Amino acid sequence: MLTTGKALKVSITVSEGSRYHGASAYASILDFLFYRGVSGATVLKGIAGFGADHHLHSSSVVEVSDKLPIRIEFVETREKVNELLGKLEEMAGTGLIEVQETSVAKAPQLSKQKKPAPEHMKMEGKARLMRIYVGESDRWQDKPLHEALVHAMRANDIAGVTVYRGLLGYGAHRRVHKDRPLHLSKDASIMLSAIDTEDKLKAFLPVVDQMVQEGLVVLSDVDIVKYSWRATDQEAAPPVGGANGL
């Protein structure tokens, strides 16, 4: 937790059009910082500037450049910054990262929640299957819990996840939830299925524990026969659920 005293200010500058795993680089960086428990971060958009290529970019009514600079700034402890820096360098690509000594005069007040993350690979052999069972009406920070879990898994580089909606079932409260043609249940059972290495799923468990207040989480051993995808020009990672459509 960030407190008053010595700290580091990190500024990451990327182009607005920069991509990471098929998504906007600045949005991916912001998600990563959020789910790793950084105390706070701000995204600033430039209206003009130039970079290493020495080409001047500016916005205008007639032509809006996707090369304009986007700046992500946050302040954290030295230990936290050292923990995140390697991944941030990868995500920033050809962008610029600055680290400056600073002092926190007043620490931010905690309002809600936060925390952890790890990396992609082609897998074959032994792995782990994580299934998370929640209700469709469950929420986390004002958004559907199952959607928040998908975003958290993406930010933490889990290889892929698939969300299933149950047609019939009951849970700990023994209430039967059922879809009928004229009456769709507002609390149907939702199952998220994700497969990755044991180390990555174990590292993600603290995030699950924080987000899932009521539900069931199970881990199983599985054998990966084949896990691969064909990368396109715009993506270097499989789409959500691409690995786990089981």
Confidence band (pLDDT; 50, 70, 90) for 69?
A: confident
Confidence band (pLDDT; 50, 70, 90) for 173?
A: low
Pairwise pLDDT comparison (245 vs 32), residue with the higher score: 32
Output the pLDDT for position 207. 93
Output the pLDDT for position 47. 72
For residue range 90-136, list pLDDT tens digits in order. Answer: 999 999 999 999 998 887 765 555 544 444 455 567 889 999 999 88
* Domains, the chain, with CATH or none: 5-104 (3.30.70.120), 123-227 (3.30.70.120)
Mean pLDDT confidence for 227-235: 51
Residue 50 scores a pLDDT above 70: no
The pTM of the full predicted model, rounded to 2 decimals, is 0.52
Confidence band (pLDDT; 50, 70, 90) for 166?
A: confident
Confidence band (pLDDT; 50, 70, 90) for 245?
A: very low
3-state secondary structure the chain: CCCCEEEEEEEEEEECCCEECCEEHHHHHHHHHHHCCCCCEEEEECCEEECCCCCEEECCCCCCCCCCEEEEEEEECHHHHHHHHHHHHHHHCCCEEEEEEEEECCCCCCCCCCCCCCCCCCEEEEEEEEEEEEECCCEECCEEHHHHHHHHHHHCCCCCEEEEECCEEECCCCCEEECECCECCCCCEEEEEEEECHHHHHHHHHHHHHHCCCCEEEEEEEEEEEECCCCECCECCCCCCCCCCC
Residue 226 scores a pLDDT above 80: no
Output the pLDDT for position 183. 46
